[in-house]
Homo-oligomer: A and B are copies of this chain.
Amino acid sequence: MKQYTSLNDIKNLNTLVKKAIQLKNNPFQYSHLGKNKTLIMLFFNASLRTRLSTEKAAKNLGMEVSILNINATWNIEFEEGTIMNLNTSEHIKEAAQVISQYGDILAIRAFPSLTDKEKDTAEWVLQSFQNYASIPIVNMESATDHPLQALADAITLEEHKTVQKPKVVLSWAPHPKALPHSVPNAFVHLMHRMSDTIDFVITHPKGYELDTKVTKNASIVYNQEEALQDADFVYTKNWSSFSDYGKILPMDTNDTNSTNHTNWTITQEKLGNAKFMHCLPIRRNVVAEDAVLDGNNSLVIAQANNRTYAAQVVLQEILMGLV
């Protein structure tokens, strides 16, 4: 593996998922592989799960880890040809080349602006690092994708499926803040990769259609109850509107005072016997009610645990390519 910026960088998903599951039983078996190799983790946005799981994954492989939180004191210029006499103090050309000299793999987290649709969709930050970095890049959640989460989800699905071809529903859920599309996009990418072994349905209120370049021919059912029927897995996530970019939509677009689709919260009754998945952090009793999260069918803690092995199998494959 040369890099891991999207699921497309995985040649054989099934094999990688199986390797990750094996790793869980013996996470230190490749602890020589990362000797004298450094993972640099660059955070433009805060992180808990990604930070701790990826750091642990790297250390399980014997790597050194350098963590850099980018804040207001170090503004990177991404535009070409700018006269840099304002707020930006370093150009991505220098930044990416320089950092590449201090490490062997560069992991980056950079959320979307949710205001500049064009730049977000073009993966402005991640793509700029790819253009100028000279070491492999790992995407720790970018403007439009979160492939480490998708791989962890693939592992979780493999571990918990009980039927040959389970029905998986991606359901939108309400949230007080406008959130990115990276996680639902990543999950849709995964579902497309697993289309032979999974029946996939997306459900969300009208107006919350994801980028059609991502969803392609995926089945969309606007009635949540209908969509959830006979589901084996319900993957829940809020996201903001893509068409009315980065906005939270009123419930009824004719009535801007309407409440915020609170009836889309996942309840135990809606869930039925399906397994519940969410990338976390989750707002209890907004995205899903307590009974769902505290119930036996919740996989959210298992998903978070699989983040370590998703990151580890990815770093392992990249390290093998470096030797």
Please list the residues of chain A having a beta carbon within 8 angstroms of any beta carbon in chain B: 27-28, 31, 36, 38, 40, 46, 48-49, 51-53, 55-56, 59-60, 64, 66, 68, 71, 73-74, 77, 81-86, 88-91, 93-95, 97-99, 101-103, 176, 280-286, 290, 293-294, 300-301, 304-305, 308
Question: Which of chain B's residues have a CB closer than 8 A to the CB of A86?
Answer: 176
A304: which of B49, B101, B304 is its contact (CB, 8 Å)?
B101
Q: In the assembly, what is the distance between CA of A209 and CA of B171, in Å?
A: 56
Who on chain B is nearest to A83 by CB?
A: B285
Report whether A84 and B286 are in contact in the complex, using a CB–CB cutoff of 8 Å.
Answer: yes
Report whether B176 and A283 are in contact in the complex, using a CB–CB cutoff of 8 Å.
Answer: no
- Min CB–CB distance A295 → chain B (angstroms): 12
Report whether A53 and B286 are in contact in the complex, using a CB–CB cutoff of 8 Å.
Answer: no
Report whether B36 and A28 are in contact in the complex, using a CB–CB cutoff of 8 Å.
Answer: yes
Question: Which of chain B's residues have a CB closer than 8 A to the CB of A283?
Answer: 84-85, 88-89
Question: Which of chain B's residues have a CB closer than 8 A to the CB of A38?
Answer: 56, 59
Report whether A293 and B56 are in contact in the complex, using a CB–CB cutoff of 8 Å.
Answer: no
A99: which of B46, B52, B77, B88 is its contact (CB, 8 Å)?
B52
Q: In the assembly, what is the distance between CA of A98 and CA of B51, in Å?
A: 12
A102: which of B53, B64, B97 is its contact (CB, 8 Å)?
B53
Who on chain B is nearest to A305 by CB?
A: B101
Report whether A66 and B56 are in contact in the complex, using a CB–CB cutoff of 8 Å.
Answer: yes
6 pairs, A vs B, C-beta closer than 8 Å: A27-B36, A52-B103, A56-B64, A81-B290, A82-B284, A94-B282
Q: In the assembly, what is the distance between CA of A304 and CA of B97, in Å?
A: 9
- Min CB–CB distance A38 → chain B (angstroms): 6
Q: In the assembly, what is the distance between CA of A53 and CA of B66, in Å?
A: 10
Given contacts A51-B68, A66-B52, A176-B85, contact A102 B280 (CB under 8 A): no
- Min CB–CB distance A23 → chain B (angstroms): 13
Question: Which of chain B's residues have a CB closer than 8 A to the CB of A85?
Answer: 176, 283, 286
Given contacts A68-B48, A101-B305, A301-B101, contact A282 B56 (CB under 8 A): no
